Structure 1
Amino acid sequence: MLRTNLGLRIPKGMRDLLPEEIAVQEGLEEKILTLFRQWSYQKVLTPTLEYSACVQPDVEQEDSLYKFFDREGRILTLRPELTIPIARLVSTRMRGGEFPLRLCYGADVYRNTTVRHREFRQVGVELVGSDQELADAEVIALAVEAIAGLGLDNYQFNLGHMGIFSGLMLEAGVDEGIQTQLEEALARKDMVGVESCVIQSGLPGRVQELLLRLPHFHGGEEILDEVLAWSERPAIREAVESLRRIYQYLNYFGVQANVSLDLGILRGFSYYTGAVFEGYVPGMGFPVVEGGRYDALYGDFGIPQPATGFAIHLGNLLEQFPLSAVKGSDVLVYGSDAKQIISQCQALRSQGKRVEMALGVLGEDEAQKIMLQKNIKQILYVE
């Protein structure tokens, strides 16, 4: 039965990967995971499907989830990211672990949004069980080194703190509805939306001025002193001093030159509570690295633990790397006697060779042609 036109297509936002693309992606992933292991992070993997009850409470837009029903009528969803599933894993099978835990992953995530890609390959880390600024600095420095290790030039990381925005909202007594609108607009970098929301808010002029400045307030450590002049509220002061310590640690790690302070950063998942950061590479108008501190999430799973981490959107980085011919087999074995050909192939494979077996009788010219077409190193004729 012939497939319909729809049967020849793939769902919107998904994509096929050719051997050349897979080779690049797997090479990048292995390089990053090797770095993670050097920093003592251990790899874990969670199911592609989770119960909606696990991930839905912490997703800003419920309609961004791919949802299904199982045979018992319970709602399932494709994981939209790995932080929440790993929190579930740590809170159940790893509940008695020795904290802090350093975990890493490489897996696909799915988001039913309007962006170009709805299936993402992510690699990332979760550092669970430490509330120290040194932990924040560690994961940020690791993220910077991961991007640098891929050979990308002119990358830039921006670092902010959720406490500054929430402190301003608290001090100004901003209505919860307006705060949500502002937070969503800032997270999307929608400056028109931010301005519209602020102007219509009816907030005092000074507060409006600060909110309109926030998305453009970035630079070095000097901006933190200016923030302290805005308010005496303890929450803002604590956030500023926390950022100052993290920024100093990044200097010790040798990565501070690639990190700017940016007070307009807000994350799209509701669980972030402290320092947040993003990483950019030239030619891409969205962050390829996203991360931050989320100290309240584990309490929702019954074992309160501070935590911080990040994810690298590896699939989106593929466009930054040239594709080359896939590495061919070590040898093409051909001849006229199937028994002898099979025996020779098996013998070579037992030695660790990558072997392609001719599936019909070939002449030497045909074998040479296949060797060139498939980038095979050599040919071997079996008597």
Structure 2
Amino acid sequence: MTDALFKLPAGVTYILGPEARRRRAIEHLVLETFHGWSYEEILLPVYDAYALFAHSAGAHSAGAVYCFTDVAGEVLALRTDLTSLVARTVAMRCQNWPRPIRLCYVGEVFRNAQPARHPMDASWQLGAELFGNDRLEADVEVLLVALEALERLGLTQAQVSLGHAGLLDGIAAELALSPVKRDELRNLVDRRQTSALARWLQEQPAPAHWQDVLMSHGQTAALRRIRAQTDNPQIRSALDDIEHVFDVAAALDIADRLTFDAANVSQLGYYTGMTFHLYAPGSGVALGSGGRYDALTRLFGVDEPAVGFQLSLDRLVQITDALPLPIPPTTALDADGDDLTTAFRQARQCRRAGERVEIRTARHSFPPER
């Protein structure tokens, strides 16, 4: 028998028993939070046209797509991103729906990425998207929904790192960067390669203060420092957005859970406004991310403002491993003997009462020997 039958391909995992139960419990709590904020669930296809993911996610992510062709020769791809699928659905099927539109989802995404940066080719995401509102309240709403979902999982001190796509876009406009150069800058900032970024800016050439702007972090004092270094209207507008979010957070007594980080950009090229990453205290691994992407639906001929986020189910499972798993008590029923009627009658009664049952027998079977 060939060894290929026993070897798992890279990125393939099987999830069993208690871990599967934990994942379902997390899904339930997070989706319940989304539903509590009036987000309706949308079920999405596992594959779609390659062009959809290539155009929506940008050149950097397009190379990490699993592609194949159908019988008609059309190039298809496993989904690398769920937001673009939701955005196209809203643009094509929800024209007559009242705004705003709130949708949520859970699903697996597939990225053929380098193991050094992304150890799992397949990962599960829980997300929420809000369409049709370009105002501050929509940005704040998705932040609060994300924080509540984490709080329901026991992560009551989760931190938010805020950024804004307008900062990088404003600098790119000041330097008259080509789309290729803009992607290079985004990649350097995203990876926080300070030395490489300094050399890259010198090659443009660019004023030295742009590196200070791109590496700025903190709270409102950091925003003031950036404002003092530039008159660029796009950058100043981005700073206004972030300051307004801080103002609302202060009024809600959660300002201490928010920080500003100018390097908080995304490899996904469709963000146009506020961006954010979510972290557990003391952890440098993001539990989720999101932001405003007002230009994404324009790919489908519709101008629709939107903001949303996704949480990594895989990372939530890891970070909440110590939390108790809700397992109802089990009623054990003896099915030994020739008469099984009594045991199964009791089992049905217990199930009608919502109890968990286990049919037990003294005669055990074992897996066959290899």
Structure 1 length-normalised TM: 0.85
Is 1:42 aligned to residue 45 of structure 2? no
- Asked if 1 retains the 8 angstrom alpha-carbon contact of 2:101 and 2:130, the reply is yes
Match of 2:160 in 1: 157
Checking the alignment, whether the CA contact within 8 Å between 1:288 and 1:316 is kept in structure 2 is yes
| Residue of structure 2 equivalent to 1:19 | 17
Counterpart CA distance in 2 for 1:12 and 1:165 is: 35
Cα deviation for residue 175 of structure 1 reads 4.7
Partner of 1:352: 354
Alpha-carbon deviation of 1:336?
Answer: 0.8
Cα distance, 1:258 vs structure 2: 0.6
The equivalent of 1:261 in structure 2 is: 260
Partner of 1:319: 318
In structure 2, the gaps of 5 or more residues are 365-370
Q: Is contact 1:46–1:89 with CA below 8 Å preserved after alignment?
A: no
User: Equivalent residues in 2 for 1:1-383 (5 A)?
Assistant: 2=1, 4-59=2-57, 60-114=60-114, 115-152=118-155, 155-199=158-202, 201-204=203-206, 207=207, 209-282=208-281, 284-322=283-321, 329-340=330-341, 341-358=343-360
Shift of 1:107: 1.3
Output the CA distance in 2 between the equivalents of 1:116 and 1:231. Answer: 39
Paired with 2:193 and 2:44, the residues of 1 have a C-alpha distance of: 33
Contact 1:178 1:197 in 2 (8 A): no
RMSD: 2.3
The SS at the match of 1:64 is: coil
Is the 1:224–1:240 Cα contact (8 Å) retained in structure 2?
yes
Counterpart in the other structure of 2:367:
none
Question: Aligned with 2:229: secondary structure?
Answer: coil
1:111-168 alpha-carbon deviations (Å, 9 max, x no partner): 1111111111111110100000111111112222222332236532111111112112
C-alpha separation in 2, matches of 1:211 and 1:13: 39
Partner AA of 1:58 in structure 2: S
CA distance, structure 1, for counterparts of residue 86 and residue 179 of structure 2: 30
Supply the AA of the counterpart residue of 1:345: A
User: Following TM superposition, by how much is the alpha carbon of 1:256 offset from its aligned partner in structure 2, in angstroms?
Assistant: 2.0
Question: What stretches of structure 1 move > 4 A for 4+ residues in a row?
Answer: 323-328
- Contact 1:333 1:345 (8 Å CA) reproduced: no
**CA distance in 2 between partners of 1:193 and 1:111 (Å):** 26
What do the CA deviations read for 1:173-199 (whole angstroms, capped 9, x no partner)?
Answer: 345433321111212333343233224
SS of the counterpart of 1:33? helix
Alpha-carbon deviation of 1:95?
Answer: 2.5
1:328 offset after TM fit, Å? 6.4
Aligned residue pairs, count: 356
Over the matched positions of the two proteins, sequence identity in percent amounts to 28
What do residues 189-219 of structure 1 show as CA deviations (whole Å, max 9, x unaligned)? 33343233224x2414xx2x22322343111
Secondary structure of 1:45's match?
A: coil
How far apart, CA to CA, are the structure 1 residues paired with 2:348 and 2:67? 46
Instruction: Provide TM-score, normalisation by structure 2.
Output: 0.88
Q: CA offset at residue 9 of structure 1?
A: 2.6
Q: Name the CA distance, whole Å, in 2 between partners of 1:347 and 1:337.
A: 21
**Separation in structure 2 between the aligned mates of residue 332 and residue 357 of structure 1, nearest angstrom:** 5
C-alpha displacement at 1:361, in angstroms? 5.5
Q: Distance in 1 between matches of 2:317 and 2:212?
A: 35
Q: Residue type matched to 1:289 in 2?
A: G
Answer whether contact 1:134 1:246 (CA < 8 A) is retained.
no
Structure exhibiting the larger radius of gyration computed from Cα positions:
1
- Per mean C-alpha deviation after superposition, the further-off stretch among 276-285 and 105-114 is 276-285
